[in-house]
Amino acid sequence: MYVIVGRSAWEWWRTPPVLREVEVSAEEVLQRLGANVAKKLPLARSRRIGGAAAAVRERLLSDLKGLSLPIDMAVPGGECNGKTRLVRPHRLSTSIPPSCLVNLGNGLYVSSPELTFMQLASSVELPRLIEMMTEACGLYAVVPKTARVALASSKLESLARLGEYSVRGGMNMFLDERGLPAGRCDSTGLEYPWVPCVNRRGLWTSLWKRPPITSVEDIRRVADDCKGIGGRRIVLRAVSHAHEGSGSPLETRVVLMLCLPPLLGGEHFPRPQMNRKIVFSERAAVVAGMPYCIADLLWESEHMVIEALGEDYHVDDYGFAESTGRGAALEADGYSVLEMTYSQVAHLEQWDTMVGLVATKLSRPARGRTTSFLQHRNELHRALFTDRGDGQMAF
């Protein structure tokens, strides 16, 4: 038995199932990506290999497209003999509950999202782990940027433009107008699919909408049950700060910067509801041109809404757009609306101004900028905004 673990398991869970299924041949890799890329992918069968390397080589162009090389894998003790171009081996633990492994077929497994967080706990900073959990519990995934995924995405996008592949509407609402879970299925009873977000030019991006792949409750439950596995204490600490329902990386960064406790660098504001449906009054619906909207961050009792205006992050008519009247409609219904752009969150001088506005709208005092707090805040900001390679192409 071989198990994809840690970083590689996280990449697997971030890869859209439809991209795993797109057929890509070695010849296409050579033609579309060039000889330099093709050489870095050990696809040739001329050299006989065995064990873990053999288990993954035949699948690099199928369901393992999203996994950068070498792949982190738990292997039997006798195969822990050093990293290869294909595999970085880890000793297979006998204490892993079978319920935490997903069978991919042919003796290959992948760690569940919950187990993956325990495997990563000792190697990533706590704010980054909280961010990853919030993504997993949210409505989006940042797809791994491997050359193989890029090729599959390009092929599928071309088919979509030719009308040979249709994209159904994705899940954009986490809570309904009553504040209850909106459900994973559309009006036809089918589960919402993974859907690519487009940029202002109409091109697919690496951001995809999807239903949550886990929940805060499930992460906590698995960590409670896995008492013999390292990382569980860190996971239990991290999951207490994770949020459910985030719709984009920017929304996640905003909510963590606003709501984490001061010792982790946050402003410690009350937790909002994320991607909650708000039904407009008849008058406001006329202003908005639609009967409802989806609020990125909502503090219901304070009637306060924050809209995170990330360029590629809204892909439907009910998400927020600067050119619509939704902000005016919300204000007509008594909501206070604050828009935040990526720049205002990424640059700390602008962020401090935005925090003051949030404090005013929530009728709460702004946190004092002590030397100790600013040190924690800067560390949090660095952890959330430092480039971790999401924008760099891997093989």
Q: How confident is the model at residue 11 (pLDDT cuts 50, 70, 90)?
A: very high
Instruction: Specify the pTM.
Output: 0.93
Q: Residue 78 has what pLDDT?
A: 65
Residue 96 vs residues 5, 6, 15, 74, 230: alpha-carbon distances, Å: 11, 13, 24, 11, 11
For the chain, give the percent of residues with pLDDT over 90: 71
Amino acid (one-letter) located at 272 = P
**DSSP collapsed to 3 states, 141-200:** EECCCEHHHHHHHHHHHHHHHCCCCCCCCCCCCCECCCCCECCCECCCCCECCCEEEECC
> What pLDDT score was predicted for residue 265?
97
Residue count of the chain, please give it: 395
Given this model, what pLDDT does residue 22 score? 93
Residue ranges of domains in the chain:
2-113, 246-385
pLDDT of 47 reads 55
Nearest-angstrom CA–CA distance, 152 and 171 = 22
Q: What is the pLDDT of residue 323?
A: 43
How many Cβ atoms are within 10 Å of 164's Cβ, its own excluded?
Answer: 9
Residue 51 has what pLDDT?
A: 83
Could you report the per-residue pLDDT of 62-117, keeping only the tens digit for each? 999 999 999 999 998 767 677 788 999 998 887 888 999 999 999 999 999 999 99
Tell me if 213 sits within 8 A of 13, measured CB to CB: yes
At residue 317, the pLDDT reads 42
Task: Look at residue 141 in the predicted model and tell me its pLDDT.
Answer: 98
pLDDT at position 319 is 43
Q: For the packed helices 216-225 and 232-239, what is the interaxial angle rounded to 10 degrees?
A: 160
Task: Give the integer Cα–Cα distance in Å for 385 and 313.
Answer: 17
What is the rounded average pLDDT of the residues 37-59? Answer: 71
Whether residue 291 has pLDDT greater than 70: yes
In tens, the pLDDT along 254-283 reads 999 999 999 999 999 999 999 999 999 999
Convert the pLDDT of each residue in 111-158 to its tens digit. Answer: 999 999 999 999 999 999 999 999 999 999 999 999 899 999 999 999
| Mean pLDDT across the chain | 90
Residues 158-209 have pLDDT tens digits of 999 888 888 888 999 999 999 999 999 988 899 999 999 988 888 999 999 9
Alpha carbon distance 264, 284 (integer Å): 39
> Reading across the β-sheet that carries 292-299, which strands appear in turn?
273-279, 292-299, 304-309, 336-341
